[in-house]
């Protein structure tokens, strides 16, 4: 099977330990993930959100590292600057 690219919007919520990941939402495209992440970041319960992609072969479970597309609001430091 050929590699597949998944696009994801991931919200973050504020907690006593800082910001923690919420429930990821799979999207159809990079632009869809950006729009969804921006909308998630605007919700009162979320501190921020990111849009990212992952490419790999789901049949064998091998994936490349996630590629950050865009970040909105307060996100963990490893996502800052996008």
What is the DSSP-derived secondary structure letter of residue 55? E
Tokens coding 51: 């849009």
What's the pTM? 0.88
30: helix, strand or coil: helix
Burial class (CB in 10 A: 0-12, 13-18, 19+), 71: buried
What does the pLDDT read at residue 1? 61
Which pLDDT tens digit goes with each residue over 22-74? 999 999 999 999 999 999 999 999 999 999 999 999 888 899 999 999 999 99
What does the pLDDT read at residue 58? 86
Residue of 26, 22, 29 whose CA lies nearest to 44? 22
Question: What is the CA angle 77-4-81, rounded to 5?
Answer: 20
């Amino acid at each position: 099977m050929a590699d597949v690219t998944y696009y994801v919007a991931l919200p973050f919520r504020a907690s006593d330990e800082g910001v923690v990941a919420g429930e990821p939402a799979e999207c159809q495209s990079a632009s869809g993930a950006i729009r969804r992440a921006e909308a998630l970041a605007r919700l009162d319960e979320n501190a921020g959100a990111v849009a990212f992609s992952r490419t790999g072969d789901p049949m064998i479970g091998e994936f490349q590292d996630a590629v950050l597309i865009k970040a909105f609001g307060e996100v963990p430091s490893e996502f800052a600057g996008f």
